[in-house]
Amino acid sequence: MIGPVLRREFESTLGRSAVISDPAQLRTYECDGLTGYRVVPALVVLPESTEQVAAAVRLCARERIPFVARGAGTGLSGGALPVAEGIVISLARMRAILRIDVANQRMVVQPGVTNAGISRAVAGHGLYYAPDPSSQIVCTIGGNVAENSGGAHCLKYGFTVHHVLALQVVLADGSVVTLGGDSAEGEGPDLRGLFIGTEGTVGIATEITVRLLRKPESVRTLVADFPSVAQAGDAVSDVIAAGMVPAAIEMLDHLAIEACEAATHAGYTLDTAAALVVELDGPQVDCDGLFEQLSEICHRRGTTKIRIAASEAERAAIWQGRKAAFAAVGRISPDYFVQDGVVPRTRLAEALGRISAMSEEAGLRVANVFHAGDGNLHPLVLYDQAAGQAERAERLSHDIAELCVELGGSLSGEHGIGTDKACSMPRMFGQDDLAVMGRVRDAFDPDGLCNPGKVLPTPRLCGERPGPYRPHPLEQAGVIERM
């Protein structure tokens, strides 16, 4: 319980304007981008510095109060869902760019700086920050570190973990440490890499040193329409087999295109079954050669139309259409769930076939927009809450994520596990695997105060019943057996 005495202690430590306790205001923090889960926190604090974050965490540690760090609240897995009786530590006021080092191509920022804000700050130097999640205009780098965010271009450029050199972190006891360092190689285990993607469960990053890249000399973007999803998929396979690593290969199915066009008028063809957005970037000569090869592949696989972005503005429009896809679905359906799962790229066609069958069986439409190059699916399950379809839609969405695991993939490619999928984790990992992840968490946060209830399943969250059966690695090897 946070009583008035403790509240005043937070106020005297952080300043009165940095503490929110008014019930109406607290309610604005009750959920993140996954609005189906809502919990009103007991208190919200808005620190402005590492010292203030550490001071707030020390108070929590002393009083055994759980805390949840929050960036822009754009997360889609309930990773920033508050804990009742706990506090939310919002990093929204920590928006300073601390150092820009052009010569060494890096920047030190506070966690509340937006993803796009980083690139904007160094655009004049011809530099940019590579990971580009669709929410990049508003999502923060602190949230990106927590989720190990990727984006459309991660096929070539990788994820947040590949672009962060060092982190200043406030641990669960309020101590401050640096993980990673000035170079690409440190001393001993890679704690920086271990921290990134832990979804706020082992500490709060308060300063982030990001790597900046030189903007590519040439960027070539095309949209290729195909008469079927299968043909588009074949084209993607051929691109990979040809040894190309495009910056991005995105696929949209008919329903997704319809939504995007309704929202952005980006110029996608409305009467096509599927479209690929392929982007090549790099040095001019390499890029031109590969682009020719790419066009040939699309023609060989029966493209009905190729549109090549003729200007930076046209390229931006194509991407705006693609990145607005999630929100755009609101134009064609009153409600929808965004799913995020990964299958081995070679099983994309199978996955889409199964999803289509599941969609029919549930009597709900599913729009597909996904990163085809790396098998990261984002099925959008459309439903009408008013018509009582919510529960069915949620089940379908969860079934799709678990289907991805069944096909040898992952529960999440970029949205994270958070609250939403913690109870699905036993589908993907065995008891021992999860217990060892638990040891990591316990090493950082023995009292379990740091974003509890996220990522790892708990009996309280998921019930006492053990997860569904999946074979232990030793069982697969034929060494041990269970009845």
Partner 1 sequence: MGDDALAASTRDRSAGTPEPAARAVACPASLAEAHQAVRESTGTVLVSGGRTGLDWGGPVRDPDLVIDTTAMNRLITHNPADMTVAVQAGMRLADLQQALAPAGQWLALDPPTALAGPTLGGLLAGGDAGPRRLAHGALRDLVIGATVVLADGTVARAGGHVIKNVAGYDLGKLFAGSLGAFGLIAELVLRVHPRPPASVTLAVPADPTAALAATQAVRASPLEAVAVEWDGTRLLVRFEGTADGVAARQRDARGLDRLAGAEPLVDTAEQDAWDGLAAAAYGQDTDTVIRAGTRPDRLPDVVEALRRAAGPAGVTAELTSSVAAGVHTARLRGGDAAGHAACLRDWRAAVRDLGGTVTLRRRRDGVDDLVPAWGPPAPSVGVLRALKARFDPDRRFAPGRFAPWF
Torsion of CA 356, 76, 421, 57, to 10 degrees: 170
478: left (phi over 0), alpha (psi -120 to 50) or beta: left
Nearer to partner 1, 468 or 478 (CB): 478
The answer to whether the CB of 376 falls within 8 A of the CB of 370 is yes
Strand partners of residue 195 = none
Torsion of CA 383, 386, 388, 393, to 10 degrees: 20
Name the strand (E) or helix (H) holding 164.
Answer: strand 164-170
> In the bound complex, what is the minimum distance in angstroms from residue 430's beta carbon to partner 1?
7
> In the bound complex, what is the minimum distance in angstroms from residue 144's beta carbon to partner 1?
11
Q: E strands of 366-439, at which residues?
A: 366-371, 376-377, 379-383
How far is it, in rounded angstroms, from Cα 422 to Cα 391? 18
How far is it, in rounded angstroms, from Cα 117 to Cα 73? 16
How far is it, in rounded angstroms, from Cα 467 to Cα 65? 29
> In the bound complex, what is the minimum distance in angstroms from residue 399's beta carbon to partner 1?
17
Nearer to partner 1, 214 or 305 (CB): 214
Indicate if the alpha-carbon torsion angle 17, 21, 26, 32 is positive or negative: positive
Nearer to partner 1, 439 or 465 (CB): 439
How far is it, in rounded angstroms, from Cα 70 to Cα 60? 16
Encoded tokens for 113: 């700086």
Helix (H/G/I), strand (E/B), else coil: 88? strand
176: left (phi over 0), alpha (psi -120 to 50) or beta: beta
The string of DSSP codes covering 348-376 is HHHHHHHHHHHHHHHT--EEEEEETTTTE
Nearer to partner 1, 269 or 410 (CB): 410
Nearer to partner 1, 214 or 265 (CB): 214
> In the bound complex, what is the minimum distance in angstroms from residue 284's beta carbon to partner 1?
7
State how beta strands 43-45 and 87-90 pair. parallel
> In the bound complex, what is the minimum distance in angstroms from residue 336's beta carbon to partner 1?
22
> In the bound complex, what is the minimum distance in angstroms from residue 474's beta carbon to partner 1?
6
> In the bound complex, what is the minimum distance in angstroms from residue 199's beta carbon to partner 1?
8
The answer to whether the CB of 74 falls within 8 A of the CB of 463 is no
Number of H helices, E strands in the chain: 18, 20
Nearer to partner 1, 35 or 175 (CB): 175
Nearer to partner 1, 291 or 319 (CB): 291
Nearer to partner 1, 41 or 131 (CB): 131
The answer to whether the CB of 210 falls within 8 A of the CB of 272 is no
> In the bound complex, what is the minimum distance in angstroms from residue 215's beta carbon to partner 1?
7
Nearer to partner 1, 225 or 279 (CB): 279
- Residue written as token pair 């799709």: 400
What one-letter code names the amino acid at 2? I
Helix (H/G/I), strand (E/B), else coil: 305? strand
Nearer to partner 1, 41 or 416 (CB): 416
